[in-house]
Structure 1
Amino acid sequence: MPGVIAAAVLPVIAGCSQSGGPVTGGGTPTPVVNATLPIQASGKALAFTANSTNTASVNPYTNLPDSQHELTQAQMLERSPQGGIRINGSADKDTNPNTNQGVNPALISANSPDALDNGTTLAGMTDAKGSVYFENGNFGDPQVSNASANLSAVGVYNVYQNNTFVEQIVMRHGTTIRYQEGADGAATATYAVGYIGDNTTNMPGSGTATYKGFHEGGTTGYDDNGTIRQMGLSGGTVELTANFGAGTVTGGVRGAELVTYQGNQRVVLNNAIAGLDINANITGSEYTGTANLVDANNNPVGATTTNQAIGAFFGDAAAETAAAYMIEGNAVLDGQARDYIMSGTLGAVKK
């Protein structure tokens, strides 16, 4: 079961704000001991390769292999084809876990039968030692790292406003995923964002539905005169609307800020950027379209060379949805036109 990392940090399972930030996560999940393993699932992801640094290490807490992957250039070398790539995953009970591997230790595998545009395929992982988090009946969220790849899923999200807990969003039929891989010392890495779950088999043929949700930033970076810096959307609200009769999905992140951190200082990179807009067309239980950084009037900011979005509906009568996006472009960031890469996921449940 795939899932990944934001920039170079493996996020925890629950978020702390409605739309996340440059380094996602915050809060602590409540793992349930009587988890339901094994799990097998499939889904889709958007993926790209980029120049990167890749470093293998050992996690001192679990004594398990670990890896870090960081962009060194804000340009994509290769992309997944339109509509993304298929993702397959499984999580089986680990009967011989390491210390501190979690209350639901698992052997986690992930792979894709598809290739990126120029033929690159995911090396994937097989029976990597990790953990699966179960909370309030969610689908199951795996977290795992090995010497060359990171895998993370977020399907349970704690929403806070002004540091006060508001509600918990729980996906019961699917989960968002983020993934990174690159061999120790290699000059490039592959990054993916997507989702897995039980696709809806009884899609509505008419009417509309609104979904409230969360945003988890994936791999992001902008070129600050040769130095790649992380960035992310902070604050705001996440909402997607499906018009089943028209076959469209619209919405995204509204009322957010695009920020980075320079030292301990929070910096808004462009005051005009107010969120992320997704426009897609539904085919069966899935949808494909575009994603753009937008201003308060929903107009695109800057120019893009890649602006893909994919999504799917999960559960009875499209009870939930998840989407993934990847953008490569140029915009005024911190007072200067700069190249950037931005990716992430949205998970949402019907209102």
Structure 2
Amino acid sequence: MTADCFAENLLKWYDNHGRHDLPWHHNRTAYRIWVSEIMLQQTQVATVIPYYLAFMERFPDVQSLAEAPVDDVLSHWSGLGYYARARNLQNAAQTVMDEFGGAFPDTQEALESLKGIGRSTAAAIIAQAFGKRAAILDGNVKRVLARYHAVPGWPGQTSVLKQLWEHAEEHTPSERIRDYTQGIMDLGAMVCTRSRPKCNDCPLQKGCAAYARKETNLYPGSKPKKAKPEKTTWMVILEDQNGRILLERRPPNGIWGGLWSLPELDPAYGADELQEACERNLGLDCGEPELISGFRHTFSHYHLHIQPARLGVTGQQGVRDNGQHKWLHRHEALALGLPAPIRTLLTNPEQATLL
């Protein structure tokens, strides 16, 4: 199958089977496409749609996002995970306002200068928002091309990625670029799936090297497995006599960066030492701790064993409301940007064990 046939057959399939009515297809501005592309990194379309609609309602344009309080942005991202995406999103919006006069640039180089935008995301904005030819290579496209050309190896390797980019450039047409980029993403998401691909429904079947060899399961190659480290922490739900809970802002970088979370204590403390630890570290007098069932939360590069404990606060000298700490009633806390496990702990501690 020639490069032209590749695009031609894909577009015929897209016309009949692709997704034509996604929220970001309406009023297709660079801003709206950009937000959708960032949300779709590491996240499926069905999950993204309600978040996207709520985000657009609150931040309808780049200026509103740039000027919003960071807590508001993180709150609207809460539950999507990979929170650096939200911080980068606002940082890029501020750059667009400050350096580009509020208008999104339409070149690869300028878009890649914005925080959180890489080569494929920049290309998707160029193609989808501006209708200009640009080759994309997200996870779905990598899978389609790796199978079609039987490219061995894990796409995270530089040499493999280089081959896939060459194939992406080769197959990207000059016409109907919006439909082509959406179509190849849809094909990867709906037909050329990670497991049990629907090869009999694929418009590219005749030219697919992996299908011809009956080796679709071998492409793309898997990431080399490495055992994830195991970490442990105490998380304390500290509730004062007015029913308010103490929240602590996470550092701006790293896991859950910038979100509000529960205070953590060194796992070396025993349960009978938590009262003393709260006084020593936070300046709080507390009652006896009530232990809640612990659970494990998995991040991309380690497992975290969380042991929650609830303590009533009887007196305080140390922690007041400031930029790093807040005393809030539960309904107020739940309005902030919270990591998903913390949100579950505050609403239904028993369900946290299922995370």
> Do both proteins adopt the same fold according to a TM-score greater than 0.5, normalized to the shorter chain?
no
For the superposition of Structure 1 and Structure 2, which TM-score range results when normalised by the shorter chain? under 0.3
TM-score (norm 1): 0.24
TM-score (norm 2): 0.24
Task: Say which structure, 1 or 2, has more relative contact order (CA 8 Å, 6+ apart).
Answer: 1
Larger Rg: 2
Which has the larger strand fraction?
1
